[in-house]
Structure 1
Amino acid sequence: MFGLFKKTSELEKLQKQYEKLMADWHKLSTINRAESDKKYAEAQQVLEKIEALNN
């Protein structure tokens, strides 16, 4: 109940986005290699942002 109005931090948002992109990448890796490479590249960009926030 008290977590209802809790704001998510930028780091939490980026982590969720990274997890989603990696899941999509894994799913696409057996179907469409070109699209999976694009998802992986996007995930790496998000990971760089996460690392920048941690430092």
Structure 2
Amino acid sequence: MFGIFKRKSELEKLQDSYKKIMEEAFKLQSINRTDSDKKYYEADMLMKKIESLQSKQ
């Protein structure tokens, strides 16, 4: 009921960021391949951070 006041954890923020970057990369894939590859690389770096945070928990 009061979930709207709950703050997102660092892990949830990174996961949202990852999802957003992956969507952007997918959209860029048909327009500009080099920009798409850069976005996929950013997403990969975020995934590594996410995995390191999950392994600490």
TM-score (norm 1): 0.94
Unaligned runs of 5+ in 2: none
Q: Deviations over 1:30-51 (max 9, x none)?
A: 0000100110000000000000
Q: Which residue of 2 aligns with 1:50?
A: 50
User: What aligned pairs does 1:8-23 form with structure 2 within 5 A after superposition?
Assistant: 8-23=8-23
User: What aligned pairs does 1:27-46 form with structure 2 within 5 A after superposition?
Assistant: 27-46=27-46
- The code of the aligned residue for 2:10 comes to E
Q: Which residue of 2 aligns with 1:25?
A: 25
Deviation at 1:53, TM superposition (A): 0.4
Aligned length: 55
Unaligned runs of 5+ in 1: none
TM-score (norm 2): 0.91
